[in-house]
C-alpha cells in the first residue's frame, strides 16, 4: 500500500513539474525572451512522436495505443525543435 501511494505521488509530482515547465515556457514566449521558429509541420509526425513517447508507459499499465491518421499530410505552423505547435 505504501509503495502504491509513493508511486502515485511520484507520478503527480512529475505531472506538476511538466505543467510548471510548460507555463514558464509560455511566459518566456509571450514576454519575448524566446522566439519560436515557425515552419510548416505535418501534424501526423507530431502525433506519431507523441504516441511513441507514451506507448511504453501505456503498455506497462495494460493499455493499448492505436493510431488512425489520414493518408495525406495535415499541415500546421509550429516550432518542431521546441515541440510547441
Q: Report angle CA 45, 23, 44 to the nearest 5 degrees.
A: 10
Q: Structural domain boundaries of the chain?
A: 1-35, 36-85
pTM above 0.75, yes or no: no
Q: Which has the closest alpha carbon to 49: 37, 67, 64?
A: 67
**Could you give the CA distance from residue 51 to residue 5 in angstroms, rounded to a whole number?**
27
pLDDT at position 30: 87
**Could you give the CA distance from residue 84 to residue 26 in angstroms, rounded to a whole number?**
10
Residue-wise pLDDT tens digits, 17-70 = 988 988 998 888 889 888 888 999 999 998 998 898 888 888 888 998 888 999
pLDDT at position 45: 92
Q: Which has the closest alpha carbon to 71: 51, 41, 42?
A: 42
Amino acid at each position: 500500500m505504501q509503495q502504491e501511494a509513493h508511486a502515485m505521488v511520484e507520478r503527480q509530482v512529475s505531472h506538476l513539474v511538466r505543467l510548471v515547465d510548460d507555463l514558464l515556457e509560455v511566459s518566456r514566449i509571450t514576454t519575448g525572451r524566446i522566439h519560436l521558429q515557425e515552419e510548416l509541420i505535418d501534424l501526423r509526425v507530431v502525433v506519431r512522436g507523441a504516441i511513441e513517447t507514451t506507448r511504453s508507459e501505456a503498455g506497462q499499465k495494460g493499455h493499448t495505443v492505436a493510431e488512425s491518421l489520414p493518408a495525406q499530410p495535415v499541415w500546421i505552423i509550429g516550432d518542431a525543435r521546441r515541440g510547441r505547435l
